[in-house]
Amino acid sequence: MTTSTSLVYLIALPLLGATVLLLAGRRSDKWGHLLATAMSASSFAVGLYQLSLMLDRPTEERAVSQKLFSWINVGTFNVDAGLLLDQLSICFVLLITGVGTLIHIYSISYMSHDPNRRRFFAYLNLFIAAMLLLVLGDSYLNLYVGWEGVGLASYLLIGFWNQKPAYATASKKAFVMNRVGDMGLSFAIMISFAALGTVTFDGVEEASHTASKAALTAIGIMLLVAAAGKSAQFPLQAWLGDAMAGPTPVSALIHAATMVTAGVYLIVRSNFIFDAAPTAQLLVVIVGAITLMFGALVGTAKDDIKKALAASTMSQIGYMILGAGLGPAGYAFAIMHLLTHGFFKAGMFLGAGSVMHGMNDQVDMRRYGALRKFMPITFITFGLGYLAIIGVPPFAGFYSKDLIIETAFNAGGLKGIILGSTTLIGAAITAFYMTRVMVLTFTSKERWEDNQHPHESPVLMWLPMAILAIGSVTSGILFTRGDALANWLNPVFGEHGEGHAQEHLFEPIVVSAMALTAVAIGVAIALAKYQFSKVDAVAPQNVSIFTRVARKDLMQDSFNEAVFMRPGQALTGLLVKADESVVDGAVRGVGRTALGTGAVLRQTQTGFARSYAALILIGAIALIAGIWVVTQ
Amino acid sequence: MNPYNYLYLSALLFTIGAIGVVVRRNAIVVFMCIELMLNAANLTLVTFSRINGTLDGQVVAFFTMVVAACEVVVGLAIIVAIYRSRRSASVDDASLLKR
């Protein structure tokens, strides 16, 4: 494999930015945001340079690696801190640094009134560095370092305004739920080392040809747990909605475009494991299908614009996970949806931030309405993202989602029909709730509070939105023209990456027609319900049980509370009691015994010399008597 | 003369000394009783030395006498000091360490 010495700059530049900003402290308040943006942009430039180098090389030599240093060297276990840039990583590198730079620019304006803006940018740079390490690591252990790094950055940024206790709790919730997933990843690494003897991607791929199916299935399931935690997939999805407590650019970058897609990256990167472990692969599909419906249903009931978008993110990542679980046929489409989703969802989150900026940080969509007239640029960019996500041709989401729906139908047999119908219904619900967001925010009647004066955001904010909107419009066409992205990614998926032409259940054109029909139905219902009938400014309370359940995130928190939190608390209480009575009891018992014995024996210490003498005498006599008895 | 009679005598002297230590209060008398016990032991050592026909016991008796002499010097000094400060030579009065 070609080696390179410049990969490390991708990570080092933003890491340097974060270090300088965190160490320099308040001294860097004036120029901190500029430095951070420059670091992110230069990392993007290095990424583009790497892409140009990659394009110059023939297909089979495109992947490059760089060994940084020998990290762990114990007996037969050797791990190098090494970087690997191949066709899959470069997609992520450009997405992370590109969208990341745009969001840095946006944040300069969005956070301009925040006294801690410098710290915010330091965390953003830290996130970029950690996320790049995640996608560039050449072994599961290196990936794990980045994986924890993005978790930390996510925690710090969700709780950025931790003076509000609810926000601090949200960041803690995200961190704790992510730990469950991280545990899965660490188990996967341990099993991989125990069963295969290596943790590098190359090594595991080679070993996966001969390894036992049980070990591969175990690794696959643990990787799925990890992916579910990081990507907010069922059953570890509960943290994403609360993560919206963070500043909106964070939601756009971390909780929509990049970090939450790390699970998809992990599964696609581990394609060799899942291809050899059908059970694990089936579980991936099931998790994806459940989550895409789950997120879509939650999205229909949310009045908080960011939480509605978060539910949508969850649902869209469900599509990606489902695509990745469909095996070689779906990997490229999962990545394609990930990239297009990175554009349109980041753009929509920035749009939501722009709306909040103009509406005094109001997030309740029932308090919006008719903002089209006041925020034309936000309306247009958000609208383009909207058209992309619901899948209207020729916008990006149409291509990527359509391909996943088509692949799902072609999965074969009953499985194909179930998965295909799920994705199709999901598309209809997506169209419904996104239209709802669009209508409630931009087109329906004004429902503001009296003191609100909506206005368009400054250029530093709408420019990134505009660029992302261009991406939402064009990326789908670019990726699918001559199967460009699929052909580009194919070498990553090894020899089994192509030639999987199964019998088609439906022709592509039929699938597209069905998907568009589903979308049209969803849009029509939403229009009838919100555009052409009166919407209450306060959420009505006398609603059906279904709406109430959906508003409560399908009872996810109640479920976690009843099944995990309360038994966990009971167990902890029990252990505390056991500790107090048994362990502490033993320790205290020793002390009490010594004290009691001392109190009894102290009685003999009278202070009278004659009684001591008498005791000595008695003792001596007893001793002699004892010796006499024994020796007789 | 039967050397065992010396042993009986020394046992008697030792017992008188021991009882004296336990029952008497006057420090001087207690002290004398201790000397009596020491000398009873010395008598035993010398007797056994005669019985066995070796000099070991007599040598040890000399050591005992040296130690006893030192002890008398120190002990009497303590008793005199206590008597001066407390106007009493009763061993029962000197129980201050208890508190």
A606, A614, A617 ranked by CB distance to B98: nearest:
A606
The helix/strand/coil state of A70 is: strand
The helix/strand/coil state of A204 is: helix
Q: Whole-angstrom Cα distance, residue A407 to residue A191?
A: 31
User: How do the domains of chain B map onto residue ranges?
Assistant: 4-90
A609, A614, A617 ranked by CB distance to B91: nearest:
A609
Q: Is the bond leading into A394 cis (omega within 30 degrees of zero)? A: yes
pLDDT digits (tens, 9 = 90+) for B9-44: 999 999 999 999 999 989 999 999 999 999 999 999
B91, B97, B99 ranked by CB distance to A610: nearest:
B91
Please list every residue in chain B whose beta carbon sits closer than 8 Å to the beta carbon of residue A609.
30, 91-92, 94-95
Q: What is the CB neighbour count within 10 angstroms for residue A357?
A: 20
**Contact yes or no for A607 and B23 at CB 8 A:** no
Q: Whole-angstrom Cα distance, residue A581 to residue A324?
A: 52
B21 touching A, CB under 8 A? yes
**Contact yes or no for B22 and A614 at CB 8 A:** yes
Q: Read off the pTM.
A: 0.79
CA A502 distance to own-chain centroid: 33
User: How do the domains of chain A map onto residue ranges?
Assistant: 327-541, 560-631
Tokens at residue A482, please?
């001559």
Cα-trace Rg, chain A: 30
CA A561 distance to own-chain centroid: 21
Residues whose CB falls within 8 Å of the CB of residue B29, separated by 6 or more in sequence, listed in order: B20
- What pLDDT sits at residue B43? 94
Chain B: nearest CA to A583, how far in angstroms?
A: 37
B97 touching A, CB under 8 A? yes
B18 touching A, CB under 8 A? yes
A607, A613, A614 ranked by CB distance to B95: nearest:
A607
- What pLDDT sits at residue A257? 86
Q: Whole-angstrom Cα distance, residue A33 to residue A104?
A: 8
Of residues B98 and A326, the one with the higher pLDDT is A326
The answer to whether A168 and A159 are in contact (CB under 8 A) is: yes
- What pLDDT sits at residue A502? 54
Calculate mean pLDDT across residues B46-67: 92
Q: Which residue has the tokens 């790497």?
A: A50
Q: Whole-angstrom Cα distance, residue A496 to residue A508?
A: 23
Please list every residue in chain A whose beta carbon sits closer than 8 Å to the beta carbon of residue B18.
617
Query: Percent of chain B beyond pLDDT 70?
Result: 97
- What pLDDT sits at residue A2? 81
Which helix (H) or strand (E) segment holds residue A63: the answer is none
Q: Got the DSSP string for A578-612?
A: HIIIIIHHHHHHHHHHHHHHHHHHHTT----HHHH
Q: Whole-angstrom Cα distance, residue A172 to residue A166?
A: 10
Q: Tell me the residue ranges of DSSP E strands in A144-242.
A: none
Please list every residue in chain A whose beta carbon sits closer than 8 Å to the beta carbon of residue B91.
608-610
Q: Which residue has the tokens 């494999």?
A: A1
Residues whose CB falls within 8 Å of the CB of residue B58, separated by 6 or more in sequence, listed in order: B45, B46, B49
Q: Which residues of A136-174 are buried (b: 16+ CB within 10 A; e: fewer)?
A: bbbbbbbbbebbbbbbebbbbbbbbbbeeeebeebbbbb
Q: Which residue has the tokens 């291509």?
A: A399
Q: How long is chain B?
A: 99
Please list every residue in chain B whose beta carbon sits closer than 8 Å to the beta carbon of residue A608.
91-92, 95
Task: Note the ipTM here.
Answer: 0.86
Q: In the 8-state DSSP scheme, what is residue A255? A: I
- In angstroms, how far is the first alpha carbon of chain B from the final one? 54
Q: Whole-angstrom Cα distance, residue A346 to residue A343?
A: 6
The helix/strand/coil state of A209 is: coil
**Contact yes or no for B92 and A608 at CB 8 A:** yes
Tokens at residue A114, please?
């925040």
- What pLDDT sits at residue A494? 66
The answer to whether A347 and A384 are in contact (CB under 8 A) is: yes
Give the residue numbers in A contacting B (CB under 8 Å), as ranges: 605-610, 613-614, 617
Beta carbon pairs, A and B, within 8 Å: 29
Question: Residue B24: closest CA among chain A residues belongs to which residue?
Answer: A610
Alpha carbon dihedral A460, A340, A64, A200, in 10-degree steps, equals: 110
Strand partners, A91: none
The answer to whether A186 and A144 are in contact (CB under 8 A) is: yes
Residues whose CB falls within 8 Å of the CB of residue A468, separated by 6 or more in sequence, listed in order: A99, A102, A343, A344, A346, A347, A350, A381, A385
- Ranges of residues in chain A with a pLDDT under 70 are 494-505
Supply φ then ψ for residue A106, to 5 degrees: -60, -45
B23, B95, B99 ranked by CB distance to A608: nearest:
B95
B21, B23, B98 ranked by CB distance to A607: nearest:
B98
The answer to whether A13 and A42 are in contact (CB under 8 A) is: yes
Q: Whole-angstrom Cα distance, residue A84 to residue A138?
A: 5
Residues whose CB falls within 8 Å of the CB of residue A250, separated by 6 or more in sequence, listed in order: A124, A157, A158, A160
Residues whose CB falls within 8 Å of the CB of residue A133, separated by 6 or more in sequence, listed in order: A11, A142, A143, A145, A146, A149
Q: Whole-angstrom Cα distance, residue A582 to residue A584?
A: 6
CA B93 distance to own-chain centroid: 22
Q: Whole-angstrom Cα distance, residue A116 to residue A159?
A: 13
Please list every residue in chain A whose beta carbon sits closer than 8 Å to the beta carbon of residue B16.
none
Which of the four CATH numbers 3.40.50.970, 1.10.150.120, 2.40.160.20, 1.10.287.3510 does domain B4-90 have? 1.10.287.3510
